[in-house]
Structure 1
């Protein structure tokens, strides 16, 4: 089923439901978490006009829905509402990923990968990941999908300029055809040529969601379909001989298309589709003044089919080593079929308890067989994994207690995790939480098995499970301080680095124990109409094998001015943002694997990235204007996203986010 057929199916369903001519009543209020600051008024509000009888009774013709009725429900069932305000957080999220990308270092072209400046080792997964992690920053996972509940149709249009011959656009529409049934459809598309040779990016993310609830609220269903393709031309970065010309700021090379790159005949693609459904039925829903008892059965079914492909019209033996063929065409595929059955019980004394059992059928590998040194390497990893788990939640004397655990009890991959969290809200201004996470999980599929037309990129490994333990704390007081500290230990860490024998990139396992400390402070200081927003992160890694490298300090500081203008018809924010991280052994990028690998020869960093922005809000439209990295020409050409991959030069970009409420 392609994207067009899915869209036609959606439109057909929509037309049929509309033909039923069901009136959309007022949607009942749910508990919401306000995402808009209290000091900034939103544009959509309830309006009631006096009726002919002189009462203040609302009617269908004169009632406009409250913004808090436009609900956004996350995968974890946390509920917020649509926020059309203009805040500094909206500035941070106005990017390709559409989320705050602090801790990620962008490559020169939009739609490329990101180098990670920080890592989170908290984990609740029992299965290996697919691999090709550098391609997954813009890949929509199950946890990224939101569901909606709206009193009137809602549309959001997003646009932002790209780098030469292209643009980034995101279109979203959702509607409740009745108070019980909602649909949403979204497509985010990008095409950007880039400033360097052979670096074009072309991506598309299609998402369709629906959720339904019977009138008696006993049956609930929600599901989604995603179809994604992420295409990148790969050039391997600028050649070593051009490094001096770049760092010296040679005027002849300010036209970045002049730089010679390592290759001009390669491209990579990550493509995937997923069908996901979760539903539950309440057997007991008894509530009175003394007790609250609920018993329900739940079911989750999910199928995902994805592949990563690398094509090169002529093998580059100087860069990747000897090859079996003259033209490289290789593809790794994964089919994963998942089922989970749940038994949920809730009681006002015990709390909320869930027991579940799940089944994973996986099939990862290649459609060819490699014979290396007379030995045949298997081409598939496939089988079945059976797991059991439990969840717990309880509100007790102001504390919110959460627990979750899971274990694989049958199959080829062992795995287990346990997570416990306690949080406390003293009031709306003060909150604190602590969590403990233990995990044991098999490394990603591409570290266990890899086939390539390049001889030295073929392996079959029997790595031990990576084991992690993380202790985390968070304390928050208004906007004055939001402090997060976590301490992790990692054993049997699997990473990529250069093989000393073949000089190519292979996976390795670090048998030593790594200790990793992170501390992050977020705060905002306001004086009149001026504000200083700060994010400061400190990191410390103790690793005898230097397999995990991060900068010691990573900071983002924004000084900005906000004010209403033209009789409050326009709201303006303008200011400067400075990003900075200290020098460290930055990971290098391998385009064949779509993975970053460890290098301990050259340090990168210690360069500021300064942006000037001017943003405005007019009704439900937010307009963004930015001069990115305007200091690039006078603070030195020593800025890199990865070795041989220069960061972005100065550029002016603009865009808009526009919400429509019908």
Structure 2
């Protein structure tokens, strides 16, 4: 979508909301909402907002894709510090590249939320891609805005703006845009990303008909350097004083760039045929609903390099072109849902009709052995969802089966049981069984470079089994996952997709405990990982730790400002971290370099009413520490860097 059109649309909606909100405030029995966000903090996690008028903070609701309800939170806590980044989530298990908005390497893996179907691939460009489960919906009594601003690296900035309002209690619309443009400290590191989201929710007066949906358009443009060349890499490691300005270091690629775009339309609606009051015996059968879910998502990826490059090999065809891959997946789900004592809760039966297209417009390299340009197909899937509550137990299950022999054939089963004892603790056990095709770019890929053309018609489904346990309590938080993977698909040292012949056995254990004394606190997170089978292709550090020591207090008379000052130490043990391939936008195996290093960050955060201010110094010891910090071979992690920003909420 044209960015000028997006900003024009946002300005129009914002102007409309100002007029609408003034009418709301004038019609609320003469009461004005003068101090709707005067927050007071009793602990780091609680939300205790004093509001004038008839509005409470619990009226400002946020709904996840799974319909879990939270509230717009304007407090300051250590968790907010961890999430103040471009992704806006805790990146403990990720290793960032030096420039924000670039990709991340993995320090750990999660398999609890696998998708039903394969994706286009090019995963390094999708770290900040917002999927269906990442979209939030809202219900607010007054027009509400949130602005996040953060400085970029060298030149540029990050802006994430949200605006939402209810035209009535039953109709909500939200618009949001996250954009970044950051030059970076090294050559050819420019990042320009954009994520536009628009959502709506509506229900009739008696909740008989409900509909919600969203539109997203996302684009990710990156210049690609290929990392430092051999001479510059040596100058970085020996800390040559002539190259303190990182822009003087030479890189492997001088004219390469890639672009990833995605557009999605999602609509989910249902009609209630029988409600509880209509049922003769609501204990037997009630709330019968029919529903439909439409998802249409297109993605495209292109890599452009006008010149040739030794790091990618030869080009036999003088007329060969740069690669541009496209995929379109359309899902139509039809479902029937009801409540019954015979199923102990809510049950939904569903049928999904799926069609997909992936590939290229033509053969890009005549010297390749590829004989088809596209993968196409259709599939019919059947499945069910089940939710039940028995005393303190919450039981959830979902399944989807796609029979046949198409590329979409496979199965997905997920079940979880949650036991919650008031606010003291909760325990969750989960099981995920998944079988699906590898991503499309491992099956078919074209390029003007000879070594990057393949067609894999014999790849088998990747079978994943994940058993997980999670504990949340006032004493300790922890999780344990045991994962088995058959036909694990990866890119080898030659940048070629392969399937591992044996089984991957992966154990991950993670614990978190915070100690508090007076106005001081020490927040500790430790993750242990072990790959007992398949460590030659599935690589993770054995230990990852993060320890944050910080001070929290109110400053000045009347306590107008809450401050949060501290330092974060993070370390991971050495392992053969995956290499980054900019042509594929994937991480590949390498056996020449082990990476593992500590970092120390310092932060000063403050909250004044509804505004949270953030000031941070990344990698404060880099000026005198050993130059062994890398995000991937040839890609140094960031040096001493000062960043600042804010998050500001308006409740009109």
TM-score if structure 2 supplies the norm length? 0.93
Distance 1:11 1:652 in 2: 32
1:406 aligns with 2:400: yes
1:341 aligns with 2:331: no
Correspondence for 1:394: 388
Correspondence for 1:597: 588
3-state secondary structure, aligned to 2:317: coil
Counterparts of residues 476-625 of structure 1 (less than 5 Å): 476-478=472-474, 480-499=475-494, 505-544=495-534, 546-566=536-556, 567-605=558-596, 607-625=597-615
Q: 1:431 to 1:286 in 2, by over 3 A?
A: same
Which of 225, 228, 245 is equivalent to 1:235? 225
Which of 139, 155, 170 is equivalent to 1:149? 139
Correspondence for 2:92: 102
Q: 1:129 to 1:147 in 2, by over 3 A?
A: same
CA contact (8 A) 1:510 1:545 kept: no
Distance 2:535 2:84 in 1: 38
Q: How much has 1:635 moved relative to structure 2?
A: 2.2
CA contact (8 A) 1:204 1:230 kept: yes
Counterparts of residues 456-495 of structure 1 (less than 5 Å): 456-461=451-456, 462-478=458-474, 480-495=475-490
Distance 1:395 1:43 in 2: 29
Q: How much has 1:43 moved relative to structure 2?
A: 6.9
Q: 1:247 to 1:434 in 2, by over 3 A?
A: same
Distance 1:193 1:375 in 2: 39
Q: 1:371 to 1:403 in 2, by over 3 A?
A: same
Distance 1:219 1:267 in 2: 47
1:73 aligns with 2:46: no
Counterparts of residues 334-373 of structure 1 (less than 5 Å): 334-348=327-341, 350-370=344-364
Q: 1:10 to 1:634 in 2, by over 3 A?
A: closer
Distance 2:509 2:589 in 1: 23
1:39 aligns with 2:33: no
3-state secondary structure, aligned to 2:234: helix
Correspondence for 1:30: none
Q: 1:15 to 1:202 in 2, by over 3 A?
A: closer
3-state secondary structure, aligned to 2:592: coil
Correspondence for 1:295: 288
1:219 aligns with 2:215: no
CA contact (8 A) 1:338 1:358 kept: yes
CA RMSD in angstroms comes to: 2.4
1:181 aligns with 2:171: yes
Distance 1:263 1:491 in 2: 36
Counterparts of residues 261-280 of structure 1 (less than 5 Å): 261-280=251-270
Correspondence for 1:119: 109
Q: How much has 1:403 moved relative to structure 2?
A: 1.1
1:170 aligns with 2:175: no
Q: How much has 1:123 moved relative to structure 2?
A: 4.7
Q: How much has 1:129 moved relative to structure 2?
A: 1.3
Q: How much has 1:64 moved relative to structure 2?
A: 4.6
Distance 1:441 1:42 in 2: 42
Distance 1:187 1:20 in 2: 21
Q: 1:14 to 1:385 in 2, by over 3 A?
A: farther
Distance 1:134 1:323 in 2: 28
List alignment gaps of at least 5 residues for structure 1: 27-34, 48-62, 500-504
Q: How much has 1:221 moved relative to structure 2?
A: 0.7
CA contact (8 A) 2:320 2:364 kept: no
Q: How much has 1:108 moved relative to structure 2?
A: 0.9
Q: How much has 1:189 moved relative to structure 2?
A: 1.0
Q: 1:270 to 1:170 in 2, by over 3 A?
A: same
CA contact (8 A) 2:365 2:447 kept: no
Which of 322, 325, 328 is equivalent to 1:329? 322
Correspondence for 1:446: 441
Q: How much has 1:268 moved relative to structure 2?
A: 0.5
Q: How much has 1:36 moved relative to structure 2?
A: 11
1:284 aligns with 2:277: no
3-state secondary structure, aligned to 1:498: coil
Distance 1:19 1:619 in 2: 25
Query: Which range is displaced more, 233-242 or 587-596?
Result: 233-242
Distance 1:3 1:650 in 2: 33
Q: 1:91 to 1:347 in 2, by over 3 A?
A: same
CA contact (8 A) 2:21 2:143 kept: no
1:539-588 Cα distance to aligned partner (Å, 9 max, x none): 00023461100000011110000001112100000000011100001000
TM-score if structure 1 supplies the norm length? 0.91
1:604-633 Cα distance to aligned partner (Å, 9 max, x none): 11x211000000000000000011100112
Correspondence for 2:35: none
